[in-house]
Amino acid sequence: MASKFLILAFLAITSSLAFADPSSLQDFCVADLKSSVPVNGLVCKDPKLIEANDFFFSGLHLAGNTSNPAGSRVTPANVAQIPGLNTLGISLVRIDYAPWGINAPHTHPRATEVLTVLEGTLQVGFVTSNPDNRLITKVLQKGDVFVFPVGLVHFQHNVGKVNAVAIAALSSQNPGVISIANSVFGSKPAISADVLAKAFQVDKDTIYNLQSKF
């Protein structure tokens, strides 16, 4: 009986160590972008040297250039722009959409996203994982908020006749982006057309045509 209790206690302690919330042990860890030490995240700058600008970014009032095939532009404000976000698990983007512009299907490997529409009308959606692959979609107006759960493929489409603008918060200092079309058809070197033709159940010429766009 006692040994059973000890085993349970041991399991509880080791599992709490393995899954402990990695709470910050300091007020902040402003990224030292010049350090070449490889760590999970970025090395902290000497706290005595930090300044307000380490926590500051100006530019989300500026519309991104949407003159591109997708008709959209993402302006990030993550740890690359704001070193003070290092280790804090949060960042922002501004997204501009021309009329009928899209933010093409993509996923963030390290973040859930909460998107708020500031201007315009967006159809948004995400797809649940296998085997259901259910599309969860909604048309959003100014002031509406929508959540894209971590890892799921999602998109936005400006279905209005005017420009649209959104601000999204992401639960990582460095959310990462995997654009589905670019990953699948634009990898370097390319995934073999044999693989993609079988995967998409089309002929290889269709694959070559798709690959030529990326």
Footprint of Mn ion on this chain (CB under 5 A)?
113
CB of 170 to Mn ion, least distance (A): 7
CB of 106 to Mn ion, least distance (A): 6
CB of 87 to Mn ion, least distance (A): 22
CB of 153 to Mn ion, least distance (A): 10
Considering the complex, state which of residue 83 and residue 175 has its C-beta at the smaller distance from Mn ion. 175
How is residue 79 written in tokens?
Answer: 């740890």
Cα 1 vs. chain centroid, distance in angstroms? 49
CB of 109 to Mn ion, least distance (A): 11
Cα distance from N-terminal residue to C-terminal residue, the chain: 64
Among all chains, which residue has been given the structure tokens 């315009």? Answer: 120
Considering the complex, state which of residue 45 and residue 175 has its C-beta at the smaller distance from Mn ion. 175
CB of 158 to Mn ion, least distance (A): 15
Considering the complex, state which of residue 30 and residue 165 has its C-beta at the smaller distance from Mn ion. 165
Nearest Cα residue to 29 out of 69, 75, 89, 114: 89
Considering the complex, state which of residue 110 and residue 206 has its C-beta at the smaller distance from Mn ion. 110
Considering the complex, state which of residue 167 and residue 190 has its C-beta at the smaller distance from Mn ion. 167
Residue nearest to Mn ion (CB): 113
Question: Cα(160)–Cα(158) distance, rounded to whole angstroms?
Answer: 6
Considering the complex, state which of residue 96 and residue 113 has its C-beta at the smaller distance from Mn ion. 113
